[in-house]
Amino acid sequence: MTKVVFLNRRFVPEDRATVSVFDRGLLYGDGLFETVRINQGKFFRLAAHIRRLFDGARALRIKIPMTRAEMEIYAREVALTNRIREGFSRIVLTRGEGFLGFSPRGAGSVQVAICARERPVSVRRREVWRLRLHPRPITPLPFKSLSYLPHVLAKLEAERAGYDDALLFDARGRVIEATASNVFLLKGGGLVTPPLSSGCLPGITRAELIKLARREGWRVAEKEIRAADCRRAEGIFVTNSLLEIVPCALEGKPNPSVVAALDELEALYAYHRTMQSR
């Protein structure tokens, strides 16, 4: 079956969906994206992802040519047409075609594309990820920009060094996030994660896990984390919408009891996601 994508208020076959080579998203990463989990044919927190996309667009002064409700309808229609049961939806927004140069003045029509795919085997995580500390500080953005080159480079360098991912820091040595995930420490029977003021992405999975953990009686602290905290913690894990909860080891092997505790937390989250998907 030929899959379709939504592109600027039209549903077109994937192999016919094109954008200009002068599109600012292609030239400068001038745009945003969201990745939404689809579980048993239902979306998990689609409205929250779209709200974050609109918040980012407002920060970039990009006027999206549709309402949030319309975007949600289009995303659901693409997934339904493509018969996606277990997978993800990707929503991409660019400022559109423009003149060569960084200034957005004179940019053309804003481009909106939505696709939906089955969850590929390549993203199904291994049991425990090996993390390393990225050697250079980064300056994060509080939204999912198409310009993720520092994160791509950090991931590339980590993989070339034999690791699965990297922890990213700011110029003051504070942990921000992993390359595509939020970071949590297991410490003293509770959870610790960097606050949003650190510049970390306001992750949908992060927010859901904090609410769920507190409801289940876990202590959750949002506070500054440094490399030494990561090394002293009983455990470490990362979260994102596609992989959800991934146990990790920082330059060593995790305690088996910690992995078991995270397995319990992961099972709680999977049940929560299934019950809350719409």
- CATH of residue 223: 3.20.10.10
For residue range 15-51, list pLDDT tens digits in order: 999 999 999 999 999 999 999 999 999 999 999 999 9
Half-sphere exposure of 103 (CA within 13 A, CB side): 3
Angle at 239 between CA 117 and CA 69, to 5 degrees: 50
- 203 and 114 part of one domain: no
For residue range 131-163, list pLDDT tens digits in order: 999 999 998 888 899 999 999 999 999 999 999
Asked if the model's pLDDT at residue 277 lies above 60, the reply is: yes
Cα dihedral sign, 202-157-122-259:
negative
- 134 and 272 part of one domain: yes
Mean pLDDT of 119-127: 61
Show which of 102, 120, 138 is a domain's final residue: 120
Show which of 93, 120, 147 is a domain's final residue: 120
- 82 and 187 part of one domain: no
- 63 and 145 part of one domain: no
Asked if the model's pLDDT at residue 97 lies above 60, the reply is: yes
- 83 and 188 part of one domain: no
Asked if the model's pLDDT at residue 226 lies above 70, the reply is: yes
- Tell me how crowded residue 164 is: count the other CB atoms within 10 A of its CB: 20
Share of the chain above pLDDT 70, in %: 95
d(CA 239, CA 193): 11
d(CA 88, CA 81): 14
Least trusted range by pLDDT, from 170-174, 176-180, 249-253: 249-253
Asked if the model's pLDDT at residue 91 lies above 90, the reply is: yes
**Taking a C-beta distance cutoff of 8 angstroms, is the pair 187, 215 a contact?**
no
* 179, two tokens: 């390359």
For residue range 245-260, list pLDDT tens digits in order: 999 988 766 666 677 7
- 96 and 144 part of one domain: no
d(CA 77, CA 70): 11
Asked if the model's pLDDT at residue 125 lies above 60, the reply is: no
Show which of 76, 94, 120 is a domain's final residue: 120
113 φψ region: left (φ > 0), alpha (ψ -120 to 50), beta (else): beta
Alpha-helical segments (H) within 118-255: 149-160, 204-215, 227-232
pTM check: above 0.75? yes
For the chain, the domain total comes to 2
- Domain range enclosing 256: 129-276
